[in-house]
Amino acid sequence: MYKGLWNEVIRVAEERLPLAWEIRDWTLILFVSAWLAVAYLKLGRIADARRVLDRMFKEVPARTLGFETYAAAYRQIVLAQLHLAERNSDEALNAVREAISTSRRTGAPLEEGAAHRVLGEICEAMGARADADNAFRGSLAALEKVQCPPELAQTLLAYGRFRKGDNALEDRAMIERALALFEEMGATGWIEEARAALHA
C-alpha cells in the first residue's frame, strides 16, 4: 500500500482476506479490509470499497476494538475517505472526528496525523479553506514528530495540492519533498501521483 501499487494490494488482499475471516483473525481483518478499501477508492471502485467496509463494520465484534486501538482509529479514517468519495461530507466529518478522538484517547499519533490529513481533504471539499489549512498543518506537525516517511509524504502531497496557487514556491517545495520521499521508498504509484501534481 505504501508503494501505491493498488492493483497488487487488491490482488493480495482479495486472495488472503477470506482466510482471515475463516480463522477470525480480527487484527488482520481490520487492517487488510481498510487497506483493500483504500486501494479500491484509489482506483475509483467506490462500491467495492463500500462492500468491504460494510462487512468489516458489521461483523467484527465491537469488543475487539478495545484491544485493536490502532485499527479502531484507522478504520474510521478509511470510512471517512469512503464517505468523502461518496460526496457525503457530513458523514465523512463525523467519521474523521471519531478517528481523531480515538487516536488521541489511545495514544496513536501516526493515526492522528493521518486523520488530520483526511480532515483537511474533507474541509477542502466543503470549501472551508481555513479549516482545511489548519488540519493539514496539524497533520504535518504530528507526522514530522512521529517520523513516518510514507504518511508524511502523503500529507506533503495533499497539502501541496491544496495550496496550489497560494504561493508557487512553497506549494512546489512541498510536492517536491513528497516526491523525494516517495522516490527514496521506491513508492512507484505515489511517485506517479506526485509527478502528476507537479505538472498539473
From CA 119, how far away is CA 107, in angstroms rounded?
18
Domain ranges of the chain: 6-147, 148-200
- With beta carbons less than 8 A apart as the criterion, state whether 99 and 76 touch: yes
Question: 200 pLDDT exceeds 90?
Answer: no
Region of poorest pLDDT, from 26-40, 104-118, 154-168: 154-168
pLDDT of residue 67: 60
Give the pTM: 0.94
pLDDT of residue 65: 66
pLDDT tens for each residue of 12-35:
999 999 999 999 999 899 999 999
pLDDT tens for each residue of 129-164:
999 999 999 999 999 999 899 999 999 999 999 998
Q: Predicted confidence band at 5 (pLDDT cuts at 50, 70, 90)?
A: very high
Region of poorest pLDDT, from 67-71, 74-78, 135-139, 154-158: 67-71
Fold designation for 6-147:
1.25.40
- DSSP letters, the chain, are -TT--HHHHHHHHHHHHHHHHHHT-HHHHHHHHHHHHHHHHHTT-HHHHHHHHHHHHHHS-GGGGGT-HHHHHHHHHHHHHHHHHTT-HHHHHHHHHHHHHHHHHHT-HHHHHHHHHHHHHHHHHTT-HHHHHHHHHHHHHHHHHHT-HHHHHHHHHHHHHHHTTT-HHHHHHHHHHHHHHHHHHT-HHHHHHHHHHHH-
Mean pLDDT of all residues belonging to the chain: 94
Average pLDDT over residues 102-131: 95
pLDDT of residue 35: 96
pLDDT of residue 170: 83
Question: 166 pLDDT exceeds 80?
Answer: no
From CA 87, how far away is CA 193, in angstroms rounded?
22
pLDDT of residue 66: 60
